[in-house]
Structure 1
Amino acid sequence: MTVRLSGVLGACALAAAVSLSVAGVAATSSGPIVREASAPSTRQVPQRRYIVRYRSGTLQRASTTQALTTARAVLVNSGLAASGITVRHVRRLASGADVIAFSRPLDAVQGAQVMRAFAADASVASIVPDRRMFHTGVVGPTAMPNDPLSSGYQWHLYNSIGGIYAPAAWDKSTGAGVVVAVLDTGITDHPDLAPNLLQGYDFISDPFVSRRADESRVPGAHDYGDWNDDWMQCEVHASSFHGTHTAGTVAEATNNGIGLAGVAHGAKVLPVRVLGRCGGYTSDIADAITWSSGGVVPGVPNNTTPAEVINMSLGGEFACDEVLQGAIDGAVARGTTVVVSAGNWNADSAQFAPASCNNVINVGASRIGGGKAFYSNWGKVVDLSAPGGGGGQDVYPNGYVWQTLNDSLTSPEEGSPVYGGMAGTSMSAPHVAGVVALVQSIATKPLTPAQMETMLKATARPFPVAMNPAMPMGAGLLNAKAALATVLPPCTGADCESNAIALVNKLPVKNLSGAINSQRSYKFDAKTGLTSLSFMTYGGTGNVSVYVRYGQVPTTSAYDQAAIHLGNNETVRITVPRAGTYYVKVVGAAAYAGVTLEARAN
C-alpha cells in the first residue's frame, strides 16, 4: 500500500518572513518554506503487488521457489495468464509472507479474480493487496534553548494554550540514551540534524519509488526526493522532504546557537526510508517496523540500535490489515511504542491505516488555540492531540509547525538545507514520539507501550476550547511537563526531603495522575497535641497505594504504615501522632488519574 505523509503534498509556496541567515545553513531571501496541509488523493490505482501468506507446514511456506510455482499456477487458474500477464516473486517478509508482483497492474475486476483464485488454494492462508501509503502531513524553572529562531517560530513547544510545555520538561530530560525510529521519506543533509542521526536503512524495494537502480534494500536513509511529474503514476507535486521535517521535530540539535529546537534533542533518530515517489508499499513498511524494533528481516543486517519508539507520520485509506497489524504487534511485544498520525482527511480515523491498527498511539492535530485543526481526522481511535498547525487559518507563522527542511523542488542536491513550516497530523505525531523519548530516558524502569499510552492520555491537558462531540480528538492535548512528572525517579540525595510537596490540613490536593510505578512525595508538619492524623486518597480512576514514614521519605520497602488496596480509596491512620514531619508517598499501583490526596489532623 502507499502511505501518505500528513499535509506535505500541498503545493510548495514561499512566504515573506524572516531571512534564514543561520550559520551553516543556506539562507533564502524570501523567507522560510511553507507547505500547506492537504489531504492526499485517495484515488484507487490499479494494483500490481500482493502479499500472500501460505499456511504453516506447507511446501510453499518453506520454499520461495515453490511459492512462485504456486503463484504461477493460480494465475493460470484465474484465467489471467491467457492475457499475457506473468507473476514474479519479489521477496519474503519478516513475517514469512511473500510479496508477488504481476507484470502489469490489475484493475478492480482482475484483482478480485486473482484474490478469489488464491483464496481457493488450500495452501494459502490469506492474501491482501500490497497497497501504498503516503505521508500524512504537509499539512519549576524552565529551560529555553539559545537557538535564534526557536522562540519566535516554535509556538508548538512554548505557547501556553496550544503548546506542549516543552521547556518545563527539558529541565528533567532531553531524551538522552533513547532511539526514535522515524519511518518516512528518509533524511537530507542538514547541519541541525546531523549530530543526532544514526545511519538508518532504506527499505524501499521498488526502483520507481526509491529512485535507486534496483530492488535492493541498502544502508542509510538518504532522501532522493519524492517529486512526481507523471500524473499517470500519482499526483503531480514537488518533493516534500517530509522525513527531514518530522525527524527535526523529534530531535533537532538544540542549544547549538543555530536554527530551531527538537522535542527530545538528547535522543538519537534512526531514519528508516519507506516512502518515496508516489508513496510506499505496506510490505516495505511492515519489514521496516520489524527491523526498527529489533526484529529479524531476511536479507537485512540486524539493527544494532533498536528503537524504543517508532514514529509513522503516514497512512492510507483502508482498514488495518494483518500484515501491518502483525508487524506492529511484534514491535510492541519487543517493548517499542508505536506512534502514528491520525490522517488529514477530516474523517473518521478508523477508516485509515495504521491509524486504525491496535496497539498504536493515534495522534490528531491541534492549532495554536488548542482546538481541532480543520484537516485532522477524528474519532474514537484517536488517543490524544498534539500541535499540527492550523495552516492558513491562523496568523503567520503560527499556523505551521517549524522544522528542518530542504528548499529544492526535486532532488535535495539541487537545493539547500533550510527551515520550513508544515501543517498536518504528520507534524503532531513526532511531538508525541519526542515526549515518549523524554519519558523513557529518565524512567527507572522503561514503560511498556500500553503503560505509555495510558500515561500520556492521563496527563493530557483538557482542550481549552469547546470541541465537537461528534468529532472526538482524544483525551486532550499533549503535556510534556505533566508526562515527565509521573516518572521522575525517587530522590536519593541528602536534600531528598526538601523535594516533598507540603500538605495543608484538610485542604485537598486534587487531580493527581500518573503512570504505573510513578511516585509523588508529600510532607505534613504535625503540631504538638494532635489526637489523630490521617492521610487519605479518593476519587478518580486507576489504582494507587499510600506509604507514610515519620522523619524520612518512605519507599515501597521502607515505611511506617501503608494502605495497599485495589482502587484509589486508601487511608493511613496514625492514632498517636508525634510532633514533627510525616512524609507521604503516593505510588501508582497502576496508571491513575483524577485522584485527590488529603491530610486530616485533629
Structure 2
Amino acid sequence: MFKIRSIKTCALAAALALALPSAYATDAAPAINAKLSLSHMKAQQTYDRFIVTYRNGTTESVDGNAATQNVRTAISHVGLDRATINSLGASQAAVSVGYVRKLAIGGHVLHTSRKLSTAEAGKLMAQIASDPAVAHVEPDVMMRLVRDVAATQTVGGTLKPQDMLTGAPNDGYYAQYQWHMQPVTASDAGSADVEKAWTVADGAGVTVAVLDTGITAHPDLDESLASAGYDFTSVALVSGRAADGRAAGGMDTGDWTTGTAYAECRDAGDSGEPSSWHGTHVSGTIAELTNNSTGMAGIAHSAHVLPVRVLGHCGGLTSDIADAITWASGGHVDGVPDNQNPAQVISMSLGGEGACSADDAFGVAIAGAISRGTTVVVAAGNSGEDVANASPASCPGVISVASNGITGKRAFYSNYGTGVTISAPGGGIYVNDASSGDEANPTGFVWSTINNGATVPATATYGGMAGTSQATPHVSGIVAMILGAEKDAGLTASTPAQIKDILTSTARAFPVAEDHPIGAGIVDAYAAVQKAVGGSNDGGGGDDGSNATALTANVTLAGQSGTAGSSTLYSIVVPAGAKNLSLRSFGGTGEVTLYAKAGTAPAADGSDADVVSARPGNTETAVFRTPATTTYYIRIVGVAAYSGLSILASYTM
C-alpha cells in the first residue's frame, strides 16, 4: 500500500525563515512565507523543478526569459551559483537554471541543473519569493496513483452462470463480484445502491475525464475516445518514451518500476512493482459496458470516458497534472490541440502529501475547471491520515472521497477528516472490513476491468482492488448519472456546487459508528439521481426539510444521539416580531458541528449554511439578532459519535 509520511508545514516554515537572507529575515519573512507552498516538501528529498507564478501585469508573467533571469539572480544571491562542499564533505556543483514551459494557469516551470537538498531548495524558493513581482512559488513534485491493494487473483475465461437478479444486468460476473453496485442489504450496507438508479439514468451524453495511467484495450470498455485523449507525461523517465515531450492519445503503455531504468524512483531495497493498469480499472468502474452478457458492469455505462495519461513510471509531475486538468475541462494548453470532448466530470485517483491552497498549481487549475462547469472528484488517499495533509484531495472545491467497505465501515487505510465530502465503496481488505487478518478477503474488493501484463499490456481480464482510488470512480460515475438524468429531463445541468449538495444531502447514513469523520454519509446513486430530477428521495439519507424534527420555542429537546458522520435536521418556526433567535446544542458526550439556515435546510456539508458553529465538543451556537419571519433549520452533524445532546431554540418577542 502506498503511504506518504507528512512533513509539518510549521516546521518547514520555521526552517525556511531561518534560512532567509538577512535582508528579508525580519518583517518581510511572513510575507515571503505566505507565497511559498511548503507542505509539499519532504525531509531528505531533493528537488530540481519549480513552479514560479508572477503577478499579473509584470514583465515576468508573460516573458519566460525574464522569469528565468530572475531565478538565475536568486540562485546567485543564495550562493548556489558556486561549487561548494556539503556537510558530509561531498562536492556540490554550481547550479544553473533552464526554462521548461509556461503552464496554462500562468505559472512558469523552471529546472535546475542539479537536484537541490530540502535546505537548498528552501533557500532558493524563499529568495525567489522575496521579489515583489512574485505571487507564488512551489516545487514541481511527483504525484503518485493512490496505491491500492490488489486482489491476488484475476478472473477470466468461461463465465460462471448466474441466476438473474430482479433489475440486475446480465453481465456474468456482476452478481458474484460487484457487491458495491447491488441493492443495499443488512449484509451489504456499504453499497452505493447503483442498480436501483439504473432504472432512472445511465450517464448518456456525459463525458468523464479519467486523469490516471491511461487506458488499455478491453472488450468490456468503450474505447471510442481513447485516441481523443492525451498523454501529458512530459518527462521521458515517466512516459517511457525515448525523449521528453507529450503525445496524442490516452493509452496506457505501462507504469512498471522494476529494472534498473527506474531505480531512482524506488526506495532503497525496493525491487519495484509491475504495471498497475490503474486507469483501466478506474475507467471500468465508471463506465464499463453493461448488460452485454460479458464480464462486469459500470456505473454510468452509457457515458464516455476520456482517458488522460498523467501518471507513468514513478508517478506524474504536478505541472503536467495541472495542465491536464485545464485541458480536460475545455481550457487551452499551449502545444496541445484543444480538447474536442470537454469533460463534465474529472476523476482523479492520485495525489501526494501537503495541504492544497487556492494559490497552488492544483488549486488554480481546479478552480478554472470548476469555473468551466466541470465537477472535480478526487480520492482522499490511502494513508490513514487527515485529508488536510493530502493534495489535491484538500484543494478548494473538489469532491473528496473516502472509502468504506462492504459493512459500511471506514476502510482502515482511508484518509479522513472534515475535508472529506462523502464516502463510497472502495473495498475492505479483510473479513468484516477489519484492519488486519490472516489473508485478504477477495469478496470485499472492488472488481473491474484490468490487464494481466507485468509491464506492457497483454491479456484483458478482470481484477479486484481496494482503496480510495476505487471509491472515487463510484462518485464520478454517479455524478455522470446525475448530469445525464438532468439532460434527459430537459433540465439545466447542475453546477459543481449543486452537484456536491445533491450528493451530500442524499447520502445514506453510516450503518456503524465511524471512528473518524468521512463525509456526509455513503453515496447513494438512486437518491442522488432522484433528487436531481425532482423525484422523491425514496431510500436516500438526505433531507429537504420536510422530515425535520420540529422544535418548540424555549423548550429543550434532550437525549439526542448520533454516530460519527450522522446528520440530523431540526426546525423552528419564527413568527413576525421575534428577536434574538438563538439556536443551541449542549450537554452530553462526543462532538458535533451545527449548521443553521433560514428558509431551507442547510446542505449536509454546511456549504450553504448561514451560520456554522464548529467548536470542540458539543456546545454550539448560532445567533440571529433580527431573524426573518420564516422557518429556521438546524443541522447537527456528528464529528464523532455523540449522545445525551440537548437542542434548544429560543427567541424573544
| Sequence identity percentage | 45
Task: Kindly state the Cα deviation for residue 86 of structure 1 after the two structures are TM-superposed.
Answer: 2.0
Partner of 1:513: 543
CA contact (8 A) 1:6 1:427 kept: no
- Name the CA distance, whole Å, in 2 between partners of 1:196 and 1:514: 39
Partner of 1:182: 210
Task: Kindly state the Cα deviation for residue 259 of structure 1 after the two structures are TM-superposed.
Answer: 1.0
Partner of 2:518: 473
Structure 2 CA distance for partners of 1:137 and 1:186, relative to 1, 3 Å: same
Pairing 1:201–2:230 present: yes
Any idea what SS the aligned residue of 2:137 has?
A: strand
Matches within 5 A, 1:363-512: 363-393=401-431, 396-412=441-457, 415-443=458-486, 444-468=491-515, 471-488=516-533
Q: Which runs of 4+ in 1 moved over 6 A?
A: 4-7, 509-512, 589-594
Structure 2 CA distance for partners of 1:74 and 1:541, relative to 1, 3 Å: farther
Any idea what SS the aligned residue of 1:476 has?
A: coil
Task: Kindly state the Cα deviation for residue 166 of structure 1 after the two structures are TM-superposed.
Answer: 1.1
Task: Kindly state the Cα deviation for residue 150 of structure 1 after the two structures are TM-superposed.
Answer: 1.3
Partner of 1:10: none
CA contact (8 A) 2:183 2:195 kept: no
Residue in structure 1 matching 2:385, options 306, 324, 347: 347
- Name the CA distance, whole Å, in 1 between partners of 2:537 and 2:351: 45
- Name the CA distance, whole Å, in 1 between partners of 2:171 and 2:572: 41
- Higher mean C-alpha displacement, 190-199 vs 162-171: 190-199
Partner of 2:113: 103
Kindly provide the amino acid, as one letter, of the partner of residue 136 in structure 1.
V
Task: Kindly state the Cα deviation for residue 392 of structure 1 after the two structures are TM-superposed.
Answer: 3.3
CA contact (8 A) 1:459 1:514 kept: no
CA-to-aligned-CA distance 1:253-308 (integer Å, 9 cap, x gap): 11122111111000000111111111111111111111111111111111111111
Partner of 1:520: none
Residue in structure 2 matching 1:164, options 192, 217, 220: 192
Structure 2 CA distance for partners of 1:440 and 1:85, relative to 1, 3 Å: same
Kindly provide the amino acid, as one letter, of the partner of residue 473 in structure 2.
P
Residue in structure 2 matching 1:314, options 340, 346, 350: 350
Partner of 1:566: 599
Pairing 1:135–2:145 present: yes
Pairing 1:234–2:270 present: no
Task: Kindly state the Cα deviation for residue 156 of structure 1 after the two structures are TM-superposed.
Answer: 0.8
Any idea what SS the aligned residue of 1:368 has?
A: coil
- Name the CA distance, whole Å, in 1 between partners of 2:355 and 2:493: 31
Any idea what SS the aligned residue of 2:447 has?
A: strand
Kindly provide the amino acid, as one letter, of the partner of residue 360 in structure 1.
V
Kindly provide the amino acid, as one letter, of the partner of residue 125 in structure 1.
A
Structure 2 CA distance for partners of 1:371 and 1:211, relative to 1, 3 Å: same
Structure 2 CA distance for partners of 1:354 and 1:501, relative to 1, 3 Å: closer
Partner of 1:120: 130
Structure 2 CA distance for partners of 1:337 and 1:44, relative to 1, 3 Å: farther
Kindly provide the amino acid, as one letter, of the partner of residue 193 in structure 1.
L
CA-to-aligned-CA distance 1:395-416 (integer Å, 9 cap, x gap): 733221101111112122xx21
Task: Kindly state the Cα deviation for residue 184 of structure 1 after the two structures are TM-superposed.
Answer: 0.6
- Name the CA distance, whole Å, in 2 between partners of 1:240 and 1:319: 26
The size of the alignment, in residue pairs, is 476
Matches within 5 A, 1:142-291: 143-160=167-184, 161-195=189-223, 197-198=225-226, 199-229=228-258, 230-235=262-267, 236-291=272-327
* Structure showing greater relative contact order (alpha-carbon pairs closer than 8 Å, 6 or more residues apart): 1
Task: Kindly state the Cα deviation for residue 511 of structure 1 after the two structures are TM-superposed.
Answer: 7.3
- Name the CA distance, whole Å, in 2 between partners of 1:130 and 1:189: 32
Pairing 1:92–2:120 present: no
Any idea what SS the aligned residue of 1:404 has?
A: strand
- Name the CA distance, whole Å, in 2 between partners of 1:456 and 1:501: 12
- Name the CA distance, whole Å, in 2 between partners of 1:345 and 1:421: 20
Partner of 1:80: 80
- Name the CA distance, whole Å, in 2 between partners of 1:154 and 1:422: 12
CA contact (8 A) 2:507 2:541 kept: no
Pairing 1:297–2:333 present: yes
Any idea what SS the aligned residue of 2:443 has?
A: coil
- Name the CA distance, whole Å, in 2 between partners of 1:486 and 1:120: 51
Kindly provide the amino acid, as one letter, of the partner of residue 355 in structure 1.
A
Q: TM-score, normalised by structure 1?
A: 0.74
Structure 2 CA distance for partners of 1:114 and 1:162, relative to 1, 3 Å: same
Kindly provide the amino acid, as one letter, of the partner of residue 388 in structure 2.
A
- Name the CA distance, whole Å, in 2 between partners of 1:291 and 1:419: 30
Kindly provide the amino acid, as one letter, of the partner of residue 105 in structure 2.
S
Any idea what SS the aligned residue of 1:370 has?
A: coil
Q: TM-score, normalised by structure 2?
A: 0.68
CA contact (8 A) 1:292 1:303 kept: yes
CA contact (8 A) 1:89 1:101 kept: yes
**Structure 1 portions without partners, runs of 5+:** 8-40, 491-499, 503-508, 516-537, 544-564, 570-588, 595-602
CA-to-aligned-CA distance 1:481-538 (integer Å, 9 cap, x gap): 1111112368xxxxxxxxx999xxxxxx9977359xxxxxxxxxxxxxxxxxxxxxx9
CA-to-aligned-CA distance 1:404-430 (integer Å, 9 cap, x gap): 111112122xx2111111110000000
Task: Kindly state the Cα deviation for residue 567 of structure 1 after the two structures are TM-superposed.
Answer: 3.3
Pairing 1:64–2:43 present: no
- Higher mean C-alpha displacement, 361-370 vs 222-231: 222-231
- Name the CA distance, whole Å, in 2 between partners of 1:6 and 1:328: 24
Kindly provide the amino acid, as one letter, of the partner of residue 397 in structure 1.
P
Structure 2 CA distance for partners of 1:6 and 1:117, relative to 1, 3 Å: closer
Structure 2 CA distance for partners of 1:242 and 1:105, relative to 1, 3 Å: same
